[in-house]
Structure 1
Amino acid sequence: MTPAPAPLWFRADVGHARLGFTDARTDLGRGPAADGSAVAGVQSLGAALGGRPALMRQVHGAQVAVADPDAPTPQADALIVDRPGIVAIVRVADCTPVVVVAPDRPLAAVVHAGRVGMAAGIVTATVDQLRRRGAEQLEAWVGPRACGRCYEVPAQMADDVAALEPAARATTRRGTPGLDIGAGVIAQLQRAGVTVHDVGGCTIEDDTFWSHRRQGDAAGRFGAGVVLGEGGDHAAP
């Protein structure tokens, strides 16, 4: 894949929505700037998608919130966007970023699916919330993440997660227990009747992306955003 101009590494338009994934050319940060404003990377992603950025305080749970840049930042691992001009953003550095879109309705969401959140059902909770708001057909884009060949974990942890989501069980290149959180996310989406587009990419193998496992505390954050246009008409460049 040939990278798009920063801050977008991948982008797509579907129905009312425009979505994009970033890479390590842009740092979305872990929190606000020193003055309390959004960091420059968040601002640039909002500008690229043509809306005001809305963030969440990600806690590896299964809480779903509604994106609202004028409200306090919610503690959640999924943000639903249901009105035009708001860019819902997810930030990651090995966890799985997901964008879910209802092509025939002005509804979309971003999801932060780490090991704990995936096992807790954050993906299914997000799909359920979108369907309660009237979404019928749903499509999802699953972004770069730590792959099962690289994500080594203790055997008991692998067993515990696989007991909740068997598709997440993996074996690393070293032949040790591993987890493939992306595979678990995809399995959950497919079971929920969602059409899945796997953007792919392993954050640990590929320095195109930020990776906490590879870079430790020096890792920034990449991620994804989605915005709705008026009647499917996008004003963003």
Structure 2
Amino acid sequence: MRIRRVVTTRAGGASRAPYESFNLGDHVGDDEAAVAANRRRLAAELGLAEGDLAWMEQVHGRTVTVVDEAGGPPAEATDALVTARPGVALVALVADCVPVLLGDPENGVVAAVHAGRVGARVGVIPAALDAMKSAGAELDRVEALLGPAICGECYEVPKAMADDVEAHLPGSACKSRNGTPGVDLRAGLWRQLADAGIAKIGVDPRCTAEDRTLFSFRRDGTTGRLAAITWVEAG
């Protein structure tokens, strides 16, 4: 089976400043019509129907929702979507948090995960992997992509916070560009995935705070959201 993975940028949409222009988040204060137009374009560019996209109401937790069909309202209070249904495209929205796309191409099971500091700390990735296994995935066949996110050099936090995240997500503590405590979520998540038996892990190295073609809440405050999407191609 062929698994598709796509990450958007902020270019080419209908949204105006400060959301310009391809904002896909409907919860950030942007004009509803602009977001709807952007979502229609997303589906069209992917060669999917708008109803093939599955969204979630992200809350920075560890809840996982298994999706058997798309087109309905966003999954409530969840930070990971899992499906074994070909053609259902799972969407995670981010603007500094780590989008994690997981897929078992042999068994046709995929997941889209929103892994911010809180969600990563409380174990949203292990929860997503457990749900994938229940849906028929085999961990030694799962491939992972860690999408663009704020880098450790830019993610400066209080020492107590860095220590707390490190205690729950080993490998995440780092030094910021200023030499102060920082958190590198992708480094911690990479280690967590590797420890879980995931052998194929790709990392998009782009930092959302540094790359102005991407949305960054930490850089801009009021801003849009980019999307990371994955699905198993039907047929």
Shorter-chain TM band = 0.7 to 0.9
Please give the TM-score of this superposition, normalised by the length of structure 2: 0.86
2:10 aligned partner? 24
Q: CA deviation at 1:33?
A: 6.5
Q: CA deviation at 1:49?
A: 2.5
CA offsets 1:34-59 (integer angstroms, 9 cap, x no match): 47x96222222222333321100000
CA distance in 2, matches of 1:175, 1:30: 36
In terms of mean alpha carbon deviation, does 64-73 or 19-28 score higher? Answer: 64-73
1:156 aligned partner? 160
2:124 aligned partner? 122
2:195 aligned partner? 191
How do residues 50-199 of structure 1 correspond to structure 2 at under 5 angstroms? 50-51=47-48, 52-67=52-67, 68-74=69-75, 75-136=77-138, 137-194=141-198, 195-199=200-204
Given that residues 49 and 87 in structure 1 are in contact (C-alpha distance below 8 angstroms), is that contact kept between their aligned partners in structure 2? no
Given that residues 95 and 216 in structure 2 are in contact (C-alpha distance below 8 angstroms), is that contact kept between their aligned partners in structure 1? yes
Gaps of 5+ in 2: 12-21
Return structure 1 stretches of 4+ with deviation > 4 angstroms. none
Classify 1:196/1:47 alpha carbon distance in 2 versus 1 (closer, same or farther; 3 Å). Answer: same
In terms of mean alpha carbon deviation, does 18-27 or 52-61 score higher? Answer: 18-27
State the identity %.
Answer: 40
CA distance in 1, matches of 2:96, 2:166: 19
Please give the TM-score of this superposition, normalised by the length of structure 1: 0.85
Tell me the secondary structure at the aligned position of residue 171 of structure 2.
helix
CA distance in 1, matches of 2:128, 2:137: 11
Q: CA deviation at 1:85?
A: 2.2
Tell me the secondary structure at the aligned position of residue 167 of structure 1.
coil
Given that residues 23 and 35 in structure 2 are in contact (C-alpha distance below 8 angstroms), is that contact kept between their aligned partners in structure 1? no
Classify 1:109/1:33 alpha carbon distance in 2 versus 1 (closer, same or farther; 3 Å). Answer: farther
Tell me the secondary structure at the aligned position of residue 221 of structure 2.
helix
Partner AA of 1:21 in structure 2: V
Number of residue pairs matched? 215
Do residues 210 (structure 1) and 207 (structure 2) align?
A: no
Gaps of 5+ in 1: 1-14
Q: CA deviation at 1:66?
A: 2.1
Tell me the secondary structure at the aligned position of residue 9 of structure 2.
coil
In terms of mean alpha carbon deviation, does 37-46 or 100-109 score higher? Answer: 37-46
1:9 aligned partner? none
